């Protein structure tokens, strides 16, 4: 090997050593200023029981006659009797809403020609009306809905639906649950980091789960889009928050 070749080899080796040394020094400097980061993922949960503060009760009633002229006066009498009954039970007239009248012509099938053929013949006009009561006086309307059979006994063809229960402060409830779920998630993450001998870092990401409202003390299932129970007066609201934290 001549002198020129020897010098080139030595020069190349020196450069390689310098590059490796520089990389080692820079890597050490990065590790000293940027400690190894890990991620902790947790799910925070918050629940709260509450009682509905708004009730909606609906019912319908109808009358049938051979003509609208015959049926309508009877239906109007029923409207006034239903209104008077509800007001007498302590329901404010402003909370009672009657819908427009629904008119249906009814037919019945008869056999003609010694039973060889059938024919639909007019069987009268049915007029139907709906009544809705919406009130913050939940207990009163609930009791009225249970006693409504008194109108049926009085001869009114009434079809009563189960009451629906709502809560008018859902926005405030959601904010409270979000704050509590977030705190629960951070507390869980801090406990995990502490038990692992590390320290919890900053929040990397947070995702809110689905807001669920179910009946209290029930086995009602959560739904993918969020359960929204209206059949129970006493309910439980819950929400989850998925959180990712840095840890070192």
Q: What percent of the chain has pLDDT over 90?
A: 73
Confidence class for position 116, pLDDT limits 50, 70, 90: confident
Report how far residue 124's alpha carbon sits from residue 103's, in angstroms, rounded to the nearest whole number: 11
Determine the pLDDT at residue 92: 96
Give the closest residue to 100 by CA, choosing from 77, 129, 127, 71: 129
The average pLDDT across 190-215 equals 93
pLDDT 10s digits, 156-194: 989 999 999 999 999 999 999 999 999 999 999 999 999
DSSP class of residue 228 equals B
Q: What does the buried/exposed string (b/e) look like for 64-75 if buried means 16 or more CB atoms within 10 Å of the residue's CB?
A: bbeebeebbeeb
Residue carrying structure tokens 């070192």:
248
pLDDT 10s digits, 67-88: 999 999 999 999 999 999 999 9
**Structure-block tokens of residue 111:** 């056999």
Which H or E run contains 166?
A: strand 164-166
Which of 99-108, 113-122, 123-132, 212-221 shows the lowest per-residue confidence on average (mean pLDDT)?
113-122
Return the higher-pLDDT residue of 146 and 8.
146
């Amino acid at each position: 090997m001549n002198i020129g070749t020897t010098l080139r080899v030595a020069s190349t080796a020196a450069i390689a050593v310098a590059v490796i040394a520089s990389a080692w020094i820079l890597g050490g400097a990065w590790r000293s200023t940027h400690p190894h980061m890990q991620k902790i993922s947790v799910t925070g949960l918050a629940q709260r029981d509450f009682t509905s503060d708004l009730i909606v009760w609906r019912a319908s009633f109808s009358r049938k006659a051979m003509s609208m002229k015959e049926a309508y006066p009877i239906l109007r009498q029923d409207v006034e009797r239903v209104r008077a009954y509800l007001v007498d039970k302590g329901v404010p007239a402003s909370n009672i809403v009657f819908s427009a009248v629904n008119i249906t012509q009814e037919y019945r099938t008869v056999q003609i020609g010694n039973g060889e053929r059938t024919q639909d013949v007019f069987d009268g006009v049915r007029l139907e009306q709906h009544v809705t009561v919406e009130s913050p006086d939940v207990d009163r309307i609930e009791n009225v809905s249970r006693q409504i059979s008194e109108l049926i006994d009085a001869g009114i063809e009434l079809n009563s639906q189960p009451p629906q229960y709502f809560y008018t402060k859902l926005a405030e409830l959601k904010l409270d649950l979000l704050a509590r779920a977030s705190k629960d998630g951070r507390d869980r993450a801090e406990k995990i980091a502490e038990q692992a001998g590390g320290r919890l870092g900053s929040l990397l990401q947070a995702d809110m789960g689905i807001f669920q409202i179910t009946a209290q003390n029930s086995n009602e299932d959560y739904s993918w889009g969020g359960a929204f129970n209206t059949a129970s007066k006493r309910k439980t609201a819950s929400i989850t928050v998925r959180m990712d934290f840095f840890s070192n």
